[in-house]
């Protein structure tokens, strides 16, 4: 490939785009076939979701079992490429069940839309004037989405602040919007753009950015669960998990991985249910840093009986109306499996899965270590990457586990040896 400029490429039909890319990059027929398969997503839908579509990329969809959340049972769809995650969540949910499962609450589906005003001659006065016109600004915002308003949502409040920035002071107005069953980016951005000229006039400045904030700290979910000490491996393991949490609380290097483990669960359910997982990640990590220090999204402590108590608090901006949750047939089917009827219910399940996932990782790390279970499950991936197909995948994987050599080179040797004998 010598030139990535491709004038007219965007106008080609999807199959022609793929042919063109295959020619330029030397894709084999099998590689073209792999890309052309859009899985559960019809190719015409895929072609309209993003730009320059050449195909699809499917991922395994697993179902985490045993979840009991706010007294109700759930089968939780999870889409991801990493072994151990679905098994870990299911095992954690099984242990949590013994003490009633997960309890989750939420602060409602409230998002923030920011309108940045620059070149403001009197920022403090502008801030006061903006707040003085709150009713007019909210009215204008709500005119943009009568449907949302009729369902009880819409712009509910307005904040204004003056920021000292590297380019000088600026005024920022913030719309506080109840987005109902939508993730809300479209509704909030439309409202922010609609009220910007009014705010510009009030502040005697220039409106620049008009956009949702992904630090969704008014859309929090709080999950908690008790894990019975004997069911999780004894009091030593309980102490181990508490110490693992203390490590994350004290050290951002560990904390990043601690929170990554939580997001393994949250994002996997998010992908399965057609959510904007970039927004979820942005919300999670910015919330974790809100105090100025990067902190764990969970806390772990021992109760009076020696059992482990876990709590999670994080933003969870998810929706059931709009986006891939509606347009992707497989995501729609996953939401049906889950049985979530509202965005809040989906958010609460995702919080429980995040807590379960963190428990699973910390329990393993504080006892037998993560690699034993993980590598056993990973051995099948290694076998496939070494060329094993069909029944040979499990045979090669089993041999590597028995030999405690779960490595690509050994898998290759085994594939060659066992293929000959067949």
Active site residues: 82, 260, 276, 374
The DSSP-derived string for 340-379 is --SHHHHHHHHHHHHHHHHHHHHHHHTTT-SHHHHHHHHH
Distance CA 204, CA 124 (A): 12
Residue nearest to ligand MEV (CB): 261
The contacts of residue 311 (CB under 8 Å, 6+ apart) are 222, 223, 224, 298, 299, 300, 355
| Positions in 259-278 near ligand MEV (CB under 6 A) | 260-261, 264
Name the one range near ligand MEV by CB under 6 A: 34-42, 131-139, 254-262, 327-335. 254-262
354-383 mask for ligand MEV (x: CB under 6 A)? Answer: -------xx--x----x-------------
Contacts 24+ apart (CB under 8 A), 336-344: 337/63, 337/75, 337/77, 338/74, 338/75, 338/76, 338/77, 338/269, 338/273, 339/74, 339/75, 340/273, 342/181, 343/109, 343/179, 343/180, 343/181, 343/182, 343/183, 343/318, 343/319, 344/106, 344/108, 344/109
- The nearest distance, CB 261 to ligand MEV, in angstroms, is 3
The answer to whether 297 touches 316, Cβ cutoff 8 Å, is: no
State in angstroms the smallest separation of the CB of 200 from ligand MEV. Answer: 46
Q: Could you give the CA distance from residue 225 to residue 348 in angstroms, rounded to a whole number?
A: 13
Closer residue to ligand MEV (CB): 329 or 373: 373
CB nearer to ligand MEV: give 260 or 412.
Answer: 260
Contact window for ligand MEV (CB under 6 A) among 116-124, 166-174, 255-263, 308-316: 255-263
> Stretches 139-147, 207-215, 256-264, 386-394: which one binds ligand MEV (CB under 6 A)?
256-264
- Do residues 114 and 240 lie in contact, with contact meaning Cβ atoms separated by under 8 Å? no
- Alpha-carbon dihedral of residues 355, 40, 83, 339, nearest 10 degrees? 30
Contacts to ligand MEV from residues 65-84, by CB under 6 A: 82
Find the binding residues for ligand MEV in span 299-358 (CB under 6 A): none
Residue 17 interacts with ligand MEV (CB under 6 A)?
no
Least distance (Å) from ligand MEV to the CB of residue 375?
13
Cβ neighbours of residue 242 closer than 8 Å, sequence gap 6 or more: 300, 301, 302, 308
Residue ranges in 98-117 that form contacts with ligand MEV under rule CB under 6 A: none
Assess 258 for contact with ligand MEV (CB under 6 A): yes
Nearest distance in Å: CB 143, ligand MEV: 46
Query: With respect to ligand MEV, which residue has the nearer C-beta, 79 or 396?
Result: 79
Residue 142 Cβ vs ligand MEV, minimum distance, rounded to whole Å: 43
- Show contacts with ligand MEV in window 151-190 (CB under 6 A): none
- Minimal distance, residue 361 CB to ligand MEV, in Å: 4
**Residue 343 vs residues 108, 375, 386: alpha-carbon distances, Å:** 9, 36, 42
The reply to whether 87 sits near ligand MEV by the rule CB under 6 A is no
- The residues binding ligand MEV (CB under 6 A) are 82, 257-258, 260-261, 264, 361-362, 365, 370
């Amino acid at each position: 490939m010598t030139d990535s400029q491709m004038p007219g490429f965007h106008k080609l039909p999807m199959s022609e785009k793929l042919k063109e890319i295959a020619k330029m990059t030397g894709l084999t027929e099998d590689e073209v076939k792999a890309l052309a398969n859009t899985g559960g997503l019809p190719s015409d839908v895929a072609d309209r979701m993003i730009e320059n579509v050449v195909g699809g990329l499917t991922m395994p969809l697993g179902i985490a079992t045993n979840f009991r959340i706010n007294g109700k049972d759930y089968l939780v769809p999870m889409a991801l490429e990493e072994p151990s995650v679905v098994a870990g969540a299911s095992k954690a949910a099984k242990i949590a069940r013994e003490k009633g499962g997960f309890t989750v609450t939420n602060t409602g589906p409230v998002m923030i839309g920011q309108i940045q005003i620059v070149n403001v001659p009197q920022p403090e006065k502008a801030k006061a004037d903006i707040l003085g016109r709150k009713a007019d600004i909210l009215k204008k915002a709500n005119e943009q989405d009568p449907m949302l308003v009729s369902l009880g949502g819409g712009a509910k409040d307005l904040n204004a602040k003056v920021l000292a920035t590297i380019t000088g002071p600026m005024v920022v107005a913030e719309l506080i919007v109840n987005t109902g069953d939508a993730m809300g980016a479209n509704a909030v951005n439309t409202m922010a753009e609609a009220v910007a000229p009014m705010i510009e006039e009030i502040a005697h400045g220039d409106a620049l950015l008009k956009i949702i904030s992904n630090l969704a700290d008014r859309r929090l979910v709080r999950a908690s669960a008790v894990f019975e000490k004997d069911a999780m491996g004894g009091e030593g393991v309980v102490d181990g998990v508490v110490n693992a949490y203390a490590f994350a609380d004290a050290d951002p290097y560990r904390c990043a991985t601690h929170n990554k483990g939580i997001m393994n669960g949250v994002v996997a359910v998010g992908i399965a249910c057609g959510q904007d997982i970039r927004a979820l990640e942005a919300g999670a990590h910015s919330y974790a840093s809100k105090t100025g220090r990067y902190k764990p999204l969970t806390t772990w402590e021992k109760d009076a009986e020696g059992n482990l108590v876990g709590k999670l608090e994080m933003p969870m901006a998810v929706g059931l109306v709009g986006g891939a949750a509606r347009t992707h047939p497989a995501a729609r089917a996953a939401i049906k499996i889950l049985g979530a009827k509202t965005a809040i219910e989906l958010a609460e399940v995702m919080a429980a899965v995040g807590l379960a996932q963190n428990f699973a990782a910390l329990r393993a790390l504080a006892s037998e270590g993560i690699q034993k279970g993980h590598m056993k499950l990973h051995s099948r991936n290694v076998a496939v990457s070494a060329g094993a197909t069909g029944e040979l995948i499990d045979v090669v994987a089993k041999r590597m586990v028995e030999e405690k050599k779960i490595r690509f080179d050994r898998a290759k040797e085994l594939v060659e040896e066992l293929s000959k004998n067949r």
